[in-house]
Amino acid sequence: MKNQWYKNAVIYQIYPRSFKDGNGDGIGDIKGIISQIDYLSQLGIDAIWFSPMYPSPNADYGYDISDYTAINPEFGTMEEFELMVKLLHERGIRVLMDLVINHTSDKHRWFEQSRQSRDNPYRNYYYWADGKGRNGKRPPNNWTSFFLGRAWQYDENTKQWYLHLFDKNQPDLNYFNPQVMREIQQILRFWLNKGVDGFRCDVITLLAKTKGLPNGFPKIALVGSEHYIDGTRMEELLEQLQQVLREYDAFTVGESVFITVPKALRYTTEGNEYLTTVFAFDQVSADNYFGVKQLVRKFSLRRLKKSVGVWQHGLYGKSWNTLFWENHDQPRIVGRYCSATLHRSEGAKMLATVLMTLSGTPFVYQGQELGATSPAFDNLDDYRDVETFRSYATLKKVFGKRGAMKRIKYCSRDNARTPMQWNSDRNAGFTDGDETWIKVNPNYTEINVRSQTLEADSVLNYYRKLIKLRKSDPAFVYGTYTDCMPRSKHIWAYLRRSEYGTLAVVCNFANKNVKFCPPKQMTEPGEYQAVTSDYADSPAALGKTILRPYEAIVYRLKS
């Protein structure tokens, strides 16, 4: 396989609103990010993906963009952005922007023009259609929104409906109009000329809707999804993006909805890449039904191992995986895949061990390197996320108020969006101001950067160690994957084999002691010696042992 920078890289995601406030207004900003560049550099990361920094009315906190070629004044100025890019590049850290081009804000000038009249020049930038019924007051088709509810909004001014696969304030762009793609290509050039190194492409596989927007098959979870996920024109549209991206050798990672290995290979096969990589969400779905996080069920290690195995085997040698536990849309992984109370630190380190020893590029979301937990606010008024409110309204009808709130506390996107916990001072050191845009997680006095920097065995320092190991030993990066105990409910034991050596990774996903006997695949001739572990006194050589709660050990086969 080609040895390209992103394969050896660890990428860090920053949600700017919640990373660090530099001016005391309670909202994270570019000045705050610049003030923590030393911290980011010391972590050892190679690139940063920034969630949207563009002007936005914040109906979806940045994912409803009103101007693609400016910086949100809440975050700072274009000059500050350019300085940040310069400083990060000086540290060898690449910059990835969030490219949100399935939809705009309804406050974007294109849409404001579009809704003026049916013959406006911008009308065809979006999907407008007559409604059904005698008075046209029923939606044009049966498509549903990813935020639950119908995917159409009626406009009284022009007596038509517009399509929004997300919030009503996020109208979908119409890529049957070639002028829309020309506009997007200009936006790409604008940022690439400012030194941006690539893009995370938001819900990119939704761009190609079926012509005519027909009704969806009514028995599938998202009605209409067969007409707006992975459409037949996706390669055509992605190739038009690549006409610009290839000029700059820009990296892309595509957020892909309900992606499968064959579909991923359709976009990312080496030598015929429409996207450099894609995000698949199977690995964060081991505690829900059908990949829908609101449909919570008990975590299953077997389910997790099975889904990871599908992607490790399916892409290796043909394409490149991405690895992640968290992002701005996912609740914290600690508390989902391991306990947030008993042995929290060991559980967080165990999950870090898995993340850094599989094939693919690891993505670390801000605070994950501390073992941050979801705040699980009890009061709905403490949440800010539009998806949370829409989900609650729907869940309440099915599960009642108490059942709906229980699921919101577990799965809300705001669980990952509370301010970064820098120290144990007021407001977790996130701001010098009196208030924060969303409440701080109450456990900031226990979990924060300052305390973990001083603790040699902290989660933070363990992440730093793993990142350093991954950079120094290509056996952590390359190699086939073999699950040696697929039926175990508690132990994840796997081999990574490559020309650079063999690693044996053993993890106890139980919050209790579990007996471990090396499986046959790990008893080949030779001696396995420990490279790292989340307990200071783990066995130095691979053999029979009692694995303690969330104990994780990486062994290397002596050559």
Q: What is the pTM of this model?
A: 0.97
The token pair at 41 is 């550099």
* Catalytic residue chosen out of the listed positions 255, 326, 369, 534: 255
- pLDDT one-digit tens code per residue, 92-103: 999 999 999 999
**Between 462 and 524, where is the model more confident?**
462
Average pLDDT for 160-187: 98
- The verdict on 461 and 333 lying in the same domain is yes
Residue 383 in domain? yes
Which amino acid is residue 211, in one-letter code? Answer: K
Residue 412 in domain? yes
Phi, psi of 116 (to 5 degrees): -70, -45
326 part of the active site: no
Domain that holds residue 481: 476-557
Banded pLDDT at 15 (limits 50, 70, 90): very high
- The verdict on 244 and 294 lying in the same domain is yes
Residue 243 in domain? yes
Residue 181 in domain? no
Banded pLDDT at 2 (limits 50, 70, 90): low
270 part of the active site: no
Q: Which pLDDT value is given to residue 218?
A: 86
Q: Please count the structural domains in the chain.
A: 4
- The verdict on 91 and 121 lying in the same domain is no
The last residue of one of the domains, among 140, 172, 204, is: 172
Residue 177 in domain? no
- pLDDT one-digit tens code per residue, 296-338: 999 999 999 999 999 999 999 999 999 999 999 999 999 999 9
- pLDDT one-digit tens code per residue, 261-290: 999 999 999 989 999 999 999 999 999 998
Residue 184 in domain? no
- The verdict on 513 and 464 lying in the same domain is no
- The verdict on 550 and 523 lying in the same domain is yes
Average pLDDT for 126-144: 95
Count Cα neighbours of 174 within 13 Å in the Cβ-side half-sphere. Answer: 19
- The verdict on 64 and 113 lying in the same domain is no
Q: Which pLDDT value is given to residue 290?
A: 86
The mean pLDDT value of the chain amounts to 96
CATH number of the domain where residue 531 is located: 2.60.40.1180
* pLDDT for residue 413 is more than 90: yes
Nearest to 328 by CA among 558, 50, 515, 36: 50
* pLDDT for residue 222 is more than 90: no
- The verdict on 360 and 466 lying in the same domain is yes
Residue 183 in domain? no
* Catalytic residue chosen out of the listed positions 202, 230, 534, 551: 202
Banded pLDDT at 232 (limits 50, 70, 90): very high
- The verdict on 92 and 137 lying in the same domain is no
* pLDDT for residue 1 is more than 60: no
- The verdict on 165 and 218 lying in the same domain is no
- The verdict on 441 and 537 lying in the same domain is no
Determine the Cα–Cα distance for residues 285 and 293; give it in Å rounded to an integer: 7
CATH number of the domain where residue 427 is located: 3.20.20.80
Q: Which pLDDT value is given to residue 527?
A: 93
Other C-beta atoms lying within 10 Å of the C-beta of residue 262? 8
Residue 178 in domain? no
The last residue of one of the domains, among 472, 502, 523, is: 472
- pLDDT one-digit tens code per residue, 521-540: 998 778 999 999 999 999 99
Q: What is the DSSP string of 36-75?
A: THHHHHHHT-SEEEEPP-S----SSTTSS-S-TTS--TTT
Q: Which pLDDT value is given to residue 264?
A: 97
- The verdict on 335 and 346 lying in the same domain is yes
The last residue of one of the domains, among 258, 289, 319, is: 319
Q: What is the DSSP string of 169-232?
A: TSPBB-TTSHHHHHHHHHHHHHHHTTT--EEEETTGGGS-PPTT-PPPPTTSSSTTGGGTSS-T
- The verdict on 347 and 392 lying in the same domain is yes
- pLDDT one-digit tens code per residue, 50-98: 999 999 999 999 999 999 999 999 999 999 999 999 999 999 999 999 9
